[in-house]
Amino acid sequence: MNKSKPSNRKRIVELANRLFYEQGYNQTSFSDIAERLHISKGNMTYHFHSKDELLHAVIEYRMEQIRETLRDWKEQYPEPLDRLKRFVTMLLNEADDLVDCGCPMGSLNAELGKTQRNIQKESRQMFDLFRQWLDEAFAQLGYKDFGKKSMHLLSMAQGAALMSYVYADPEIIDVECQYIIEWLDSMDAQ
Amino acid sequence: MNKSKPSNRKRIVELANRLFYEQGYNQTSFSDIAERLHISKGNMTYHFHSKDELLHAVIEYRMEQIRETLRDWKEQYPEPLDRLKRFVTMLLNEADDLVDCGCPMGSLNAELGKTQRNIQKESRQMFDLFRQWLDEAFAQLGYKDFGKKSMHLLSMAQGAALMSYVYADPEIIDVECQYIIEWLDSMDAQ
DNA sequence: GTCTATAAGAAGATAGAC
DNA sequence: GTCTATCTTCTTATAGAC
């Protein structure tokens, strides 16, 4: 009874997730979503009393997706270095989207941080999931300063995503990922 | 006759420059600016027929500031490596603003890229100024792949700015700048 | 759960007086 | 150059019928 017919609530969350990414949170209205879903705005309001509430649901949705992904990667790659490289491969795989819309986590946080710090703090938790996961991998490699290394990896990934987005150029992702891989390999060699 | 009384046009551009940075472009209205300047909205429209036109002026304004800064740094630091390090020092000096509002170039481009790619391409020219300036420094150091290195430096700087902004933590800037300086020094040693 | 209707406000932009 | 007044459209949100 889960696959039968997706509830309108779920359809709203999934479309909002996509539009918040493609157009930004503030540039996406209830009308946008209602029209594309062929439902009324009143229906939207029934499911989500405010836009903040919808954003909250979208963040929850993304968090769950991230948890699943990280869980899968952990199963598939027992070796910590392989896991770290899998993270980099994600950037290469998602290059097209990154170039078009930026990083889903980075761009949302960037937008919300300006005038909606309260919700941004919630949105930041997506990064926390990655940090925790990366921490574990670096710790397994024997590094005491795993927190510092996780942040550096996230930071380089965000830089790559942003610059490739600014110049709409996937080549930037490629080159920056080479730098990241070099950095990971140089650590392993020590 | 330049210092006497700043024209309203200039006051508008300078306040818009600040508010676009602090609140974002889409979150800043003509009314916002008019109220704070104690002028009418009609006056705003007289000087800038559209909001895009105002943004255009703000980008011009920022570009000129960047040109001046880069010109000064070039005079003050004849050695290319010193210039590159001066760029990193800027991040440390501006840490408070970066933590509060992100990078003025990165956050504006990130915002505009989603739904206003045309203006974003104009805004991207701010990055071009830095790229050109960094290219010259890396080229002077003898590197054939100066373009790649400039982009990597910008990318790391943007990553540091974004992550410190996401976590509202200036410490992240410090640590990431150490990584950048290490990278610069490792190149010099070769 | 879903709809229509509508409120109440803010946005960008225009017209015309001074 | 600066102002007031107004238009139009879009926004979030509410009320109440089905």
First to last CA, chain A: 53
Residues of A in contact with B168 (CB under 8 A): 117
**What average pLDDT is seen over chain B?**
96
Below-50 pLDDT ranges, chain A: 1
Note whether residue B175 is domain-resident: yes
Contact B27, B62 (CB under 8 A): no
* pLDDT given at position B71: 98
B106 contacts in chain A (CB < 8 Å): 110, 162, 166
Q: Is B2 helix (H, G, I), strand (E, B) or coil?
A: coil
Is residue B6 predicted with pLDDT exceeding 90? no
Residue B131 lies in a domain: yes
Side-chain half-sphere exposure of B71, counting CA atoms within 13 A:
6
Through-space separation of residue A7 CA and nucleotide D14 C1' in angstroms: 24
A167 touches chain B (CB under 8 A): yes
Mean of pLDDT values over B14-37 = 98
Give me the domain span that covers residue A89.
Answer: 8-189
CA B27 to C1' C17 (Å) is 32
Contact B166 A23 (CB under 8 A): no
Strand D reaches within 7 A of the A51 CB: yes
A127–chain B Cβ distance below 8 A for any pair = yes
What are the pLDDT digits (tens) for B135-187? 999 999 999 999 999 999 999 999 999 999 999 999 999 999 999 999 999 98
Per-residue confidence band for B5, with pLDDT thresholds at 50, 70 and 90: confident
Question: Which tokens go with A152?
Answer: 């550096």
User: Is B3 part of a structural domain of the chain?
Assistant: no
Q: Is the pLDDT of residue B129 over 70?
A: yes
Q: Which residues of chain B neighbour A162 with C-beta distances below 8 Å?
A: 106, 109-110, 155, 158-159, 162
Q: How far is CA B172 from CA A102, B94, B160, in A?
A: 21, 13, 7
> Would you say residue A13 lies in a domain?
yes
Distance between CA atoms of residues B151 and A163, nearest Å: 8
Q: Which two tokens stand for residue A142?
A: 């024997």
Q: Evaluate if residue B3 carries a pLDDT over 60.
A: no
CB contact under 8 A, B151 and A165: no
Q: What residue in B sits closest to A117 (Cα-Cα)? A: B166
CB contact at 8 A, B86 and B73: yes
CA distance A155 to A143: 18
Would A120 be classed as within a structural domain? Answer: yes
Total domains, chain A: 1
What is the reported pLDDT for A183? 98
Interface contact A172-B151, CB threshold 8 A = yes
Cα B190 to Cα B186: distance, rounded to the nearest angstrom: 7
Domain assignment present for residue A147? The answer is yes
Structural domain includes residue A3: no
CATH number (domain holding residue B121): 1.10.357.10
Closest CA to A11 of A42, A44, A41: A44
- The reported pTM is 0.97
Rg (CA), chain B: 18
Residue B55: which H helix or E strand, with range? helix B51-76
Whether A151 and B176 lie within 8 Å, measured CB to CB? yes
In a domain, B2, yes or no: no
Q: Residues A114-121: contacts with CB within 8 Å, 24+ apart? A: A114/B22, A114/B23, A114/B24, A114/B27, A114/B101, A114/B102, A114/B107, A115/B23, A115/B24, A115/B27, A117/B168, A119/A52, A119/A55, A119/A56, A119/A59, A120/B166
Residue B184 sits at the chain A interface (C-beta within 8 Å): no
